[in-house]
Amino acid sequence: MAQAPLPQAVAALLTPAAVFLVLSIKPGKEAEKAVRATLANMSALGRTVRFRNLHAEFTCVTGISAPAWKRLFPDLPHPKHLHKLQPIDGPDLAAPCPCVSTPGDLLFHIRADQPYMCMEMAMLIMDELRPHVTTDDETHGFKYFDDRDLLGFVDGTENPEGPAAVETVMVTADEDPNYVNSSYVIVQKYLHNLEKWNSFSVEKQEGIIGRHKLSNVELPDDKKPPYAHNVLNVIEKDGVQINILRDNMPFGFVGDNKLGTYYIAYAKNPATTEEMLHNMFVGRPKGTYDHILDVSTPITGTLFFIPTQDFLDNVQS
Ligand code: HEM
């Protein structure tokens, strides 16, 4: 029996540091060829950095968007669920911001215990790609107290763990026989209005998130408002909860007062995350939009396919 393709380190644990790099490929065949060469070299670049501190939980996951896939691999089957993220308007009256869809061909999600490991990998990637790409976004995330986001709530608690995490993110043969053990990811960079958020009472904030702020204990279901974050983001099919795997990180520039959450969610089918986004921005039912959006505005939004490590290693330039 043929061995299952080796996945990328999608289900790796949340680390104290991360770099999120979103790049667009310049027009032309030369740029496409150079990008394919770098994709094939990602394992080697990763080994170079990882071996210099084997205890740093270093990983790098590479994603490819729908427009980039068509340019880089025109002769290969298109991954079944790979498309451009659709923007979503809020409800007529309520939602203060739309869900955006922004450019980006390549995503590099670099994680490590030490920021210098992430930085080194980002520099090596850019050493190879700089002449051939433009940078859409570069975000350096950090671990805040108790894995809290800058809104002050512990972020990541309900993530699936271990085998459940792997099951959540890996494409199965039933789903797409061409790309078993691949995955999908949606990223969104949110800016917070912390002055507004901190003017809310803790009780109001807890209703918006659906958990107690200090203890991180979930509110009882009958105490959660219909717009609570953990009401709108629970998706069930035939009585079974369908999960995603989130690796959100806080980031910020205090001088410019640009502080936020880099949202990143892996799933074997991005439709789950897209349904959550619809619930958050439109409401379920319509109007019960997520009140996190009263203080948080997405400024990016992109969907990427995550091929297996074996796929990347065998890319021909
Ligand atoms: C400003 C951006 C966001 C912030 C600050 C944020 C924060 C949080 C926090 C504090 C929790 C509770 C603890 C936990 O289980 O992690 C949570 C849960 C969750 N969030 Fe978010 N989130 C954001 C955006 C999103 C988006 C865009 C989605 C989906 C499209 C999402 C999906 C989820 C899910 C699925 C849960 C777990 C719900 C449960 O099973 O209880 N989040 N988030």
8 Å CB contact between 45 and 124: yes
CA dist., res. 151 & res. 109, Å (int): 23
* The amino acid at 163: P
Give the DSSP H or E segment for 19. strand 17-25
> Best substitution site from 88, 200, 230, 279 to test ligand 1's pocket, by max atoms within 8 Å of Cβ?
230
User: What phi, psi does 294 have (nearest 5°)?
Assistant: -70, -20
Residue 244 CB–ligand 1 contact under 6 Å: yes
Q: Which of 14, 214, 246 has the most ligand 1 atoms within 8 A of CB, as the residue to mutate?
A: 246
Name the more confident of 97 and 317. 317
- Angstrom distance (rounded) from CA 279 to CA 292: 12
User: What gap in Å lies between CA 56 and CA 50, rounded to an integer?
Assistant: 8
Question: What is the reported pLDDT for 96?
Answer: 57
pLDDT in tens, 272-311: 999 999 999 999 998 899 999 999 999 999 999 999 999 9
Q: For residue 84, what pLDDT is reported?
A: 96
Which amino acid is present at 92? D
Q: Residue 104 has what pLDDT?
A: 98
294 counts as catalytic: no
Helix (H, G, I), strand (E, B) or coil at 233: coil
- Out of 137, 149, 155, 294, the active site residue is 155
User: Which tokens is 88 given?
Assistant: 């979503």
Copy the structure tokens of residue 91: 């409800």
Short-list 91, 166, 139, 107, CA closest to 248: 139
Q: Is the dihedral of CA 140, 158, 307, 72 positive or negative?
A: negative
Predicted pLDDT at 3:
84
Report the separation in Å between the CA atom of 286 and the middle of ligand 1, taken as the mean of its atom positions: 19
CB 100 within 8 A of CB 87: yes
With a 6 Å cutoff on the Cβ, whether 317 touches ligand 1 is: no
pLDDT in tens, 102-153: 999 999 999 999 999 999 999 999 999 999 999 999 999 999 999 999 999 9
